[in-house]
Amino acid sequence: MFAKRNLRAALMAPLLISLILGSVESAAASNTSASRTTIRDAVVATRVTAHQVTFKADGTAHRISTNARTVGEAMKQAQITLGPLDLVSTPLAASVKKNLEVKVTRVKVTHTVKKVKISAPIKKIKNAKMLVGKTIVKAKGAPGFKEVEAVTTFADGKVSSVDIKRSTLLTAPVTKVLVVGTRPRTVDELNWRAVANCESHGNPRSSNSKYGYYGMYQFSLTAWKTAGGTGNPMDASAAEQTMRAKRLYNIRGRGAWPVCGRLFYR
User: Strand order of the sheet with strand 144-155?
Assistant: 107-118, 144-155, 158-171
Same fold for the pair 108-183 and 187-265: no
140/175 Cα distance (integer angstroms): 8
Architecture of domain 108-183 in CATH?
Answer: Single Sheet (2.20)
| pLDDT value of position 68 | 95
| pLDDT value of position 55 | 96
| pLDDT value of position 133 | 82
| pLDDT value of position 144 | 98
Q: How long, in residues, is the chain?
A: 266
pLDDT digits 0-9 by tens, 134-159: 999 999 999 999 999 999 999 999 99
Q: Which helix (H) or strand (E) holds 242?
A: helix 238-252
Q: With the C-alpha atoms ordered 146, 151, 153, 154, is the resulting torsion angle positive or negative?
A: positive
Q: Which CATH number fits domain 187-265: 1.10.530.10, 3.50.50.60, 3.40.390.10, 3.40.50.1100?
A: 1.10.530.10
Taking 50 as the pLDDT cut, the residues of the chain under it are 1-7, 9-11, 15-17, 19-21, 23-24, 27-29, 31-35, 39, 42-46, 48
Amino acid at 69: R
CB 241 within 8 A of CB 227: no
Q: Is 265 helix (H, G, I), strand (E, B) or coil?
A: helix
Domain ranges of the chain: 51-105, 108-183, 187-265
Prediction pTM value: 0.51
List all residues 6 or more positions away from 4 whose beta carbon is below 8 Å from its beta carbon: none
